[in-house]
Chains A and B, each alone.
Chain A
């Protein structure tokens, strides 16, 4: 019996995904993000004064945390994962076999997208499960604890934001050509740029990925904010094109 032929990139991604599951950095990022989520939810529950209606929607709160800062945490993870191709010089072995720079970048972005999907599923399930459980404990009505429209939209927004932060992380690693340099670059973008400098000038703050992610998730039935969608899409496209552009003329000198 002959097995179905697997596309080269699919087969490569599968093996890279298997490898990622063994990396401590992935487990550390997942645990760190989960710890933040638990802490935020518990602080909110403890802060309530007995009336559940006065508390926030814990499902949405959890999903907001998964989007931001969770998105940024995932961006750091993506930079570390993609950057390791440069740190371990496995880039050289792959390019020596197939020198097409675009194909190499495409592989990195597909690996990032696959990891983003896994991250989104795990983190969203955890956020929704934890939020829903705490919500039920605080208020007796399960129907009030779950709102399909708002939560569905928030889940979709979390997925999009996670992917885009991942693409930003991958682009940083590709541009900086290293794991550490990539992580520093994405942290500089997120912490210094979006959280440090942008709030100093309100018009810029409205156009950051962080603000857009938060708005998309906590919209709560309002019409989807077009500006936030534009920002998320534009940053994603910018990260994609930057990855291919920065890497097009890549030369291996060591």
Chain B
């Protein structure tokens, strides 16, 4: 359970957990961030998506106070991210640039180290071990861990506190499907409990499924932002699996819906999210039912993949 002191009461205006205004930062000769504006509200699960070199990790580093911006303003939980006041150690957990662990310590000792350093109670160690199902693995020296085990331990270390804000860079890289699912569920639970999560990821399906909002980054700037279902050219698109695609197309076109046949599925374009009269999944189901067609599957098209492809110009070499 997250601490009551910072739980946001229902109906209260939400504050920004992270706020960057006009942030510029050069790394070497090239600009890593070029006037980045980003605001992440409390209780959001926010995903930063973009090709390598887009500035995602630099954004997270500046957010945590590991780097200073050349220009611009940064606020983390309402304070300067380089200040350690107000129990910052307990309020922000992070995993940036991969696991950073002492190989001679056992997993439990590493978690205890993080708990001590952040001023958290020792009971936090057992809590995160249970939370992530780490079990007896934590009694072994970290030097004997596989890369996936190091990753899950680093996530556990980030969750010691418990923190209000989790800042995670590629958290599920190298994890087996079981741990990946567990971490995804924990992030969602963290937000439900009143916490905030900021993550960067190349796992577009995870980001689409988990994030309440996604920011697409390119060349050090935010180029598009919004709920994952409403980003990119596939926003408002549905995929319908039916026995007789031609009959379904006929029925949908008769209802003045834009649709086409694609790889055995019927794709329905319902338009952009901002249209108030936009038809949705239930409209499509009703139109088909009236024609006596009952789809075996009806779902939103994945949006981030197309949005990402559009962002990178379809050039997978940049990914």
Contact with B along A1-44 (1 / 0, CB 8 A): 00100101001101110110011000000000000000000000
Contact B92 A251 (CB under 8 A): no
A92 touches B100 (CB 8 A): yes
- Other than A92-B97, A95-B64, A98-B118, give 20 A-B pairs with Cβ distance below 8 A: A8-B119, A11-B112, A12-B116, A15-B112, A18-B105, A19-B104, A23-B104, A84-B102, A88-B100, A88-B103, A89-B97, A94-B117, A95-B65, A96-B96, A97-B92, A97-B94, A98-B89, A99-B64, A99-B65, A253-B61
The one of B83, B89, B102, B154 that contacts A97, using a Cβ cutoff of 8 Å: B89
Question: A226 to B65, alpha carbons, bound, how many Å?
Answer: 45
Pick the contact of B117: A12, A23, A89 (CB < 8 A).
A12
A90 CB within 8 Å of chain B: yes
Closest Cβ of chain B to A11, distance in Å, is 3
Q: Is the CB of A92 within 8 A of B114?
A: no
> Is residue B27 within 8 Å, beta carbon to beta carbon, of the partner chain?
yes
The residue in chain B whose Cβ has the minimal distance to the Cβ of A5 is B121
Report which B residues bind A (CB closer than 8 A). 27, 61, 64-68, 81-84, 88-89, 92-94, 96-98, 100-105, 109, 112-114, 116-119, 122, 141, 154, 157, 167
Tell me the number of A-to-B contacts counted with CB atoms below 8 Å.
96
Are B157 and A93 in contact, with the CB atoms below 8 A?
A: yes
Judged by a CB distance under 8 angstroms, whether A147 is at the interface is: no
Q: Can you list 17 A-B contacts (CB < 8 A)?
A: A6-B116, A8-B118, A8-B119, A11-B116, A18-B109, A23-B104, A88-B101, A89-B100, A90-B100, A90-B102, A93-B114, A93-B157, A95-B65, A97-B114, A99-B65, A100-B84, A254-B97
Known A90-B100, A92-B96, A92-B100: A99·B118 in contact at CB below 8 Å: no
Which one of A6, A8, A97 has the greatest number of beta carbons of chain B within 10 Å?
A97
CB-CB < 8 A to A19: which residues of B? 102, 104-105, 109
Find out whether the CB atom of A96 lies under 8 angstroms from the CB atom of B84: no
CA distance A94 to B93 in the complex (A): 10
Q: Cβ of A252 < 8 Å from any Cβ of B?
A: yes
The distance from the CB of A86 to the nearest CB of chain B, in whole angstroms, is 11
How far is A96 from B157 in the complex, measured between Cα atoms in Å? 12
A56 close to B (CB within 8 Å): no
Chain B residues positioned under 8 Å from A18 (CB to CB): 105, 109
**What's the least CB distance linking B208 to chain A, in Å?**
27
Chain B residues near A98: list those with CB within 8 A: 84, 88-89, 117-118
Of all chain B residues, the one with the shortest Cβ separation from A252 is: B66
The residues of A that contact B117 with a CB separation of less than 8 Å are 8, 11-12, 94, 97-98
Query: For residue B85, which residue of chain A has the nearest CB?
Result: A100
